[in-house]
Amino acid sequence: MTAPPRPLSVLETVLYAPDLDAAEAFYRDVMGMWPFGKVAGRHLFYRLHRQMLLIFNPDVTEKRAAPDAKLPVPAHGARGPGHICFPATAAEIEHWKAHLEAKGVAIEADFEWPAGGRSIYFRDPAGNSIELAEPRIWPL
């Protein structure tokens, strides 16, 4: 038996937020993102180039879909803060830092990685850890 093909990228990244209105306001007003799709109280979907950021309300998605559901997506969810990292150049990180501070978003950490590259960290309203980092932190 041969090995299956190896995944070459991530198609979806998921964060969980029980208050989707607060999440939508944050990702719109602070991050400049507009939903690609949404279902009130259930999820927000954002298209980021060739990837999707999905934000689910775990109170809803932890439950099994009804037997007659249009899409039989299995129950899933997580509790507690997740993490996502968006790529940014050094100049973009400086711009983001000023933008976040102007929006009243606290920067939790700002540092240079030992092997090179800078990251800044902050939180969304659900407590998810958001990072902006120079891609060189992961030499790919």
Q: Return the H-helix or E-strand segment holding 102.
A: helix 90-102
Residues 139 and 95 in one domain: yes
Residue at 38 is within a domain = yes
Per-residue pLDDT of the chain (140 residues; tens, 9 = 90+): 788 888 888 899 999 999 999 999 999 999 999 999 999 999 999 999 999 999 999 999 888 877 777 778 888 888 889 999 999 999 999 999 999 999 999 999 999 999 999 999 999 999 999 999 999 999 87
Tell me which amino acid residue 85 is.
Answer: C
Using alpha carbons, list the distances in angstroms from residue 67 to 37, 63, 72.
24, 12, 8
The total of structural domains in the chain comes to 2
Tell me the CATH number at 47: 3.10.180.10
Q: Has residue 136 been placed in a domain?
A: yes
Residues 59 and 88 in one domain: no
pLDDT tens for 60-94 read 988 887 777 777 888 888 888 999 999 999 999 99
What is the domain range of residue 47? Answer: 9-63
- The answer to the question of residue 1 being in a domain is no
